[in-house]
Amino acid sequence: MNKEDKQYSGGQSEGTGEVVPLRIASTAQLARIIDAAMLRPQATRTEVEVFLEEALLYNFGAVFLHPTWIGDARQIVKGTPVKLGIAIGYPHGAHLTETKLAEIDQGLEMGADEFDMVANIGRLRSGEHMSVAKELERCRRSVEDKIFKVIIETGWLSDEEKRLAAHIVADAGADFVKTSTGVTAPGATAPDVALLFEAIKGKTGVKASGGIRSLEQTLELVKAGATRIGTSSGRIIVEEAKKNL
């Protein structure tokens, strides 16, 4: 371990002014905060195309896919309000930094608008905080002016580690700290979202992801402080909202 890893001096990220959770006033507003995900490795081209057509129909905020489908998806969503997102370092975050940077560069070339990257959880849990921070800063610069979200996999972290991770993410200039990949359990929980929301106090957004399958869950997470919802059940959630919002 590097000596400097014990000397991370961040963790003081503060927003300005009072920050309150988002309030959902309409089904259309709800759809726009949904990041619809199709990250099953066995998904076929036909399944991806159906997924994208559904995303356009419901006008979701963004769609997220594995890198192999980004170029194809760009042709389908271009000229629409639906943003194109790419998963980086997915699902475990243990890639070399250079590999993550290469994925980002390729994503930019293919036209990705948003980048959801998994942090190096093992180094974070090892106390190598400066190493994690430097990787995030390099990747943030590489993403340029695109939206950058960092997944910290809350299910693997203590509350203290979650707070520190949120500060490292915010200090690196990320646009969102994201709870989970959805690959491990548990996924997003309202207590974890509330903890992250309170920790960063509006300096960056909070994206809840992992195991979100109902309108009730979604509204609970938004009430706790989430401003983006990552889910593969966007259609179900919006259809519920049409009947209940």
Name residues of the chain where pLDDT drops below 70: 1-17
Give the C-alpha separation, 83 to 12, whole Å: 31
**pTM of the entire predicted model:** 0.93
Cβ burial of 90 (10 Å; 0-12, 13-18, 19+) is buried
Give the C-alpha separation, 110 to 181, whole Å: 22
Res 19: pLDDT: 81
pLDDT in tens, 97-113: 999 999 999 999 999 99
Res 242: pLDDT: 96
Q: Which domains does the chain have, with CATH numbers?
A: 18-244 (3.20.20.70)
Give the C-alpha separation, 193 to 225, whole Å: 6
pLDDT in tens, 175-201: 999 999 999 878 999 999 999 999 999
Point out the catalytic residue in the list 100, 146, 162, 207.
Answer: 207
Give the C-alpha separation, 68 to 209, whole Å: 22
Phi then psi for residue 205, to 5 deg, are: -80, 170
Provide the 10 A C-beta neighbour count for residue 36. Answer: 27
149 is catalytic: no
Res 158: pLDDT: 97
178 is catalytic: yes
Res 8: pLDDT: 63
Point out the catalytic residue in the list 35, 100, 116, 162.
Answer: 116
Point out the catalytic residue in the list 100, 149, 178, 203.
Answer: 178
Res 119: pLDDT: 98
Res 34: pLDDT: 99
Res 184: pLDDT: 85
Res 12: pLDDT: 54
Res 212: pLDDT: 98
Give the C-alpha separation, 151 to 87, whole Å: 10
207 is catalytic: yes
